[in-house]
Amino acid sequence: MSGVAIRTQGLGRAFGALWAVRGLDLEVRRGEIFGLVGPDGAGKTTTMRLLTGILAASEGEAEVAGFPIQGGEEAIKARISYMSQRFGLYGDLSVEENLRFYADLYEVPRREREPLEERLLGFSNLTPFRKRLARNLSGGMKQKLGLACALIHKPEILFLDEPTNGVDPVSRRDFWRILYAMLKEGVTIFVSTAYLDEAERCSRVGLMHRGRLIRCDTPQRLKQGIPGLLLELETDRPRAAREMLARHLGWNRVSLFGGLLHLYAGDEAEAGQARRVLHEAGIAVLAQKAITPTLEDVFIHQVTRDEEP
């Protein structure tokens, strides 16, 4: 069995004149959790739909679980599970009835169903709620039920499209705990998210912007790839400070995080120059410290151009 779960080469999809995904070259290894990260409109959902056979590619090729996405659709569907942003739970069915419905849908052998159902309910902490109608579950519980339904046929590869979008922090933590448990059992997980703090939990991360994959590596290596110093500045006029520094150093060198500035400086001399620029503009620097980049810092640094937005 190949060590590669997903491989794409030049994969793309156009909607009329608009390319939602273009030139995607990617490999996802078996048994890893791969995070596809980017803002709304970056091409994450289109990529998922291409890989799961929902959309046909306009260009390029791909293999999923060893089968081509063009011609191997049925073989792929038997080996994957896809939890979309609007996963099809049935509100008038109970938790356990939803699980049984998906077991029927995936033709899970009847002798395997009961132990699988009990295990997945236990995994997701839904056992006490097995008789509750799905429409009466909280948002986080619905997502965990959706995941349990997606796992009922023991897929090789699990595709999750922004599974924790709008879910409370405690439920997000529980959701990732379940994913790590599945990872230990050898399931390959391909997850898209707009939450960059979640991407830190992945084995590797692909950063998408405007339909293209702009960087792909482990979270640690991505964060080490920013040159120079990353400084956090507290000023008395943060928005004015950002405008001033961006005009002097470039828009991809400074960003606003709440009321604090993150500044990329090539060295201490450039950091001193930045402070002088602010001083001459009458903007006081109240505090400054060097910080470790987050993936959000990396993403902003990659996609922001040296021009005013």
- DSSP calls for 286-301: EEEEE-PPPHHHHHHH
Residue 254, CA distances (Å) to 38, 196, 272, 297 in order: 19, 18, 15, 10
Beta bridge partners of 67: 64
Look at the chain and count its residues. 309
Torsion of CA 33, 179, 86, 22, to 10 degrees: 0
pLDDT of residue 85: 80
Cα R_g (the chain), whole angstroms: 23
Task: Select from 245, 147, 241, 131 the least CA-distant residue to 189.
Answer: 147
CA nearest neighbour of 294 among 208, 206, 199: 199
What angle, 0 to 180 degrees and rounded to 10, lies between the N-to-C axes of helices 169-184 and 139-150? 20
> Of 241, 209, 232, which Cα lies nearest the Cα of 23?
209
CA geometry: angle 205, 44, 193, nearest 5 deg: 55
In the chain the domains, ranked by start, together with CATH numbers, are 4-222 (3.40.50.300), 225-303 (3.30.70.870)
Contact 24, 60 (CB under 8 A): yes
Residues 149 and 134 sit within 8 Å (Cβ to Cβ): no
* 226: CB partners within 8 A, 6+ apart: 264, 293, 297, 298, 301
Q: Say how far apart CA 205 and CA 217 lie, in whole Å.
A: 6
Residues of the chain with pLDDT under 70: 1-2, 304-309
What distance in Å separates the CA atoms of residue 40 and residue 37, rounded to the nearest whole number? Answer: 10
